[in-house]
């Protein structure tokens, strides 16, 4: 292997698949071979079987749908607030000076630590779940968007100024379009984090959702179901990531090499 040397597409796909094959083989070897107690770790076959039962008999699809709804709801609310604020912070230094210290502080507050408070304030309903996602995402998006907008190439702004662009033109026709692909990329990243918050929110005080199913399965020692739930989350994450990348390619063809 040489550093940075490219590989063929087939080799790339094959190596990617190889990891999963080895992973499942190791898992199967450890469990089916009897090296790990069934109480603590289900084998892959049991996992698939229990997963199938979850989907067909226990209405797990509804849980999946409700979790997706919560993630998207909280994430969209956060984006609606955070993207405009971030853009204004990046573009106008006084606004940045006003918000930046607070946002930098709030960014480190763990969203999960707010759950007890949010339950007090908003009860156990959907609003509480949405707020967890919202708090977990909004400050991250604000900061990342602000940094992106503030980092727009200065010479592009200067070129626009010499072409007669005024304040609104600079914001609307230079800063925003120039940073749009990176803003979309930052949303993609934060959506991934939002998925970790939703599960935490559902582990506590919830009667539906993937996280709720996982905590229920723990009580029944159904490790197969837990693992199936985790895998479902991973697969949904993969799909949403793929959709985001696809949309970015369609929306911003100019930013691709």
Q: Using the rule CB under 8 A, give the single segment among 170-178, 190-198, 211-219, 220-228 that binds other proteins.
A: 170-178
94 or 253, CB closer to other proteins?
Answer: 253
Q: Give the residue, chosen from 14, 18, 159, 238, that forms a contact with other proteins under the rule CB under 8 A.
A: 159
236 CB-side CA count, 13 A: 23
171 binds other proteins (CB under 8 A): no
Q: How far is the CB of 155 from other proteins (least distance, A)?
A: 5
178 binds other proteins (CB under 8 A): yes
Q: How far is the CB of 82 from other proteins (least distance, A)?
A: 22
Q: Using the rule CB under 8 A, give the single segment among 59-67, 86-94, 126-134, 248-256 that binds other proteins.
A: 248-256
Closest-CA residue to 130 (of 141, 122, 140, 139): 122
d(CA 104, CA 157): 27
Q: How far is the CB of 175 from other proteins (least distance, A)?
A: 11
- Number of Cβ within 10 Å of residue 106's Cβ equals 15
167 binds other proteins (CB under 8 A): no
Q: Give the residue, chosen from 155, 219, 220, 250, that forms a contact with other proteins under the rule CB under 8 A.
A: 155
Closest-CA residue to 115 (of 10, 18, 211, 185): 211
Q: Give the residue, chosen from 162, 167, 219, 220, that forms a contact with other proteins under the rule CB under 8 A.
A: 162
Q: How far is the CB of 83 from other proteins (least distance, A)?
A: 17
69 binds other proteins (CB under 8 A): no
Task: Please name the residues in contact with 29: beta carbons below 8 A apart, sequence gap of 6 or more.
Answer: 35
169 or 205, CB closer to other proteins?
Answer: 169
15 or 251, CB closer to other proteins?
Answer: 251
Task: Please name the residues in contact with 209: beta carbons below 8 A apart, sequence gap of 6 or more.
Answer: 63, 66, 67, 70, 129, 198, 202
CB 92 within 8 A of CB 75: no
Q: Which two tokens stand for residue 63?
A: 């849980």
182 CB-side CA count, 13 A: 18
156 binds other proteins (CB under 8 A): yes
Residue 113 has what DSSP assignment? G
Q: Give the residue, chosen from 6, 164, 167, 207, that forms a contact with other proteins under the rule CB under 8 A.
A: 164
Taking CA atoms, 75 is separated from 39, 98, 198, in Å, by 36, 24, 10
Q: Using the rule CB under 8 A, give the single segment among 31-39, 94-102, 138-146, 153-161 that binds other proteins.
A: 153-161
172 or 192, CB closer to other proteins?
Answer: 172
- Number of Cβ within 10 Å of residue 98's Cβ equals 13
| Interacting residue ranges for other proteins, rule: CB under 8 A | 153, 155-156, 158-166, 169, 173-174, 177-178, 180, 252-255
């Amino acid at each position: 292997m040489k550093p940075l040397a490219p590989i063929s597409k087939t080799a790339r796909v094959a190596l990617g698949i190889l990891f999963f094959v080895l992973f499942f083989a190791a898992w199967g070897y450890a469990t089916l071979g009897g090296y790990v107690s069934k109480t603590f770790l289900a084998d892959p076959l049991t996992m698939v079987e229990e997963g199938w039962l979850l989907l067909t008999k226990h209405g797990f699809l509804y849980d999946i749908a409700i979790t997706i709804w919560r993630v998207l709801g909280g994430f969209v609310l956060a984006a609606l607030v955070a993207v405009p604020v971030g853009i204004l912070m990046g573009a106008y230094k006084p606004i940045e000076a006003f918000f930046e210290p607070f946002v930098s502080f709030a960014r480190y507050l763990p969203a999960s630590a707010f759950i007890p408070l949010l339950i007090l304030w908003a009860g156990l309903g959907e609003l509480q779940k949405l707020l967890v996602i919202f708090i977990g995402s909004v400050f991250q998006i604000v900061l990342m968007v602000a940094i992106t907008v503030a980092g727009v190439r200065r010479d592009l702004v200067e070129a626009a100024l010499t072409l007669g662009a005024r304040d609104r033109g600079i914001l609307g026709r230079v800063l925003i379009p120039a940073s749009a692909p990176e803003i979309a990329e930052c949303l993609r990243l934060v959506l991934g984090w939002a998925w970790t918050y939703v599960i935490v929110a559902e582990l506590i005080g919830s009667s539906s959702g993937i996280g709720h199913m996982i905590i229920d399965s723990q009580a029944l020692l159904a490790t197969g179901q837990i693992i199936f739930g985790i895998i479902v989350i991973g697969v949904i994450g993969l799909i949403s990531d793929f959709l985001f990348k696809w949309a970015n390619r369609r929306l911003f063809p100019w930013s691709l090499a």
